[in-house]
Amino acid sequence: MRGNHVRRRLLAGEASVGTWLALPSPEAAEHIGRLGFDWVVVDTEHYAIDIRTLAQMFTALAATPTAPMVRIPWNDPMWFKRVLDAGAWGIVVPMVNSREEAERAVQATRYHPLGNRSVGGGRHALSFDTTASEYYRHANDEILLVVQIEHIDAVEHVDEILSVPGIDACFIGPNDLAASMGLGLGVPLECDIPRVVEAINHVRETAVRLGVVPGIHCSSADGVNQRLAEGFRFCGMASELRYLLAGLRADIERLNWRAAAPIRIDTAGQGDTVRY
């Protein structure tokens, strides 16, 4: 059975870096899985990635050394069950704002006696290169559970949230956090707004004190280096979509050429009228 190297690194006090996948593409997942990240998180919260495509992306990642993880759309047992049975090695849970919500996430992630995850599914064992019986014996020790602290309500209750047994790491979403504080949309991930900086520091310090791995979303390699220096150990570096668009945009701007302007043809009064 393949062991979850990400969970082992984090439990050993080491840092782990990955990126996010926004495109519903097994081919892109396989290419990115060979770049050298510890993990990738397939983002099913904000992007149009269905469960079958997710399983196909995990199948593509199985041929790489990169751990397949997923951000589920919401903290609902249905989503945990489906993505774990599809082969996820870890789950990122959005908008966990209370102890009760954290407990719900743990219950849905772990099999009895640590939780109430339903027994079944056909791909989870394949993802770990093992048998179903071996998977059932070891899944509670291999699945990584990450809760997102991305709202000021979560910051205010972070002690209660991160003291729930079974949570491995937290992951700060600076954009949503700033928005929940009334500071606007699209605030830079490494912003220097004092209130945001204070909230991020508070979450990181609380996580360390409670034995939970502190994580955060970063905009670039420079952002990851900054957060690692600050003591974060689970750092997500942008997404493949962000790098795809940034690279193409940068080269388009360097061209000695400009794209044609859109042309609109006025067809009013031309042709036959079609009636249904």
Instruction: Check if 217 is active-site.
Output: no
> What is the Cα–Cα distance from 174 to 221, expressed in whole angstroms?
16
Q: Give the pairing type, strands 234-239 and 213-218.
A: parallel
> What is the Cα–Cα distance from 196 to 181, expressed in whole angstroms?
8
Select which of 5, 31, 46, 202 is catalytic: 46
Taken as a whole, the chain contains a residue count of 276
SS3 call for 190: coil
> What is the Cα–Cα distance from 114 to 239, expressed in whole angstroms?
33
| Extended beta strands in the chain, E state | 16-21, 39-43, 67-71, 90-93, 144-149, 169-172, 213-218, 234-239
How close are the terminal C-alpha atoms of the chain, in Å?
A: 61
Positions marked active-site = 46
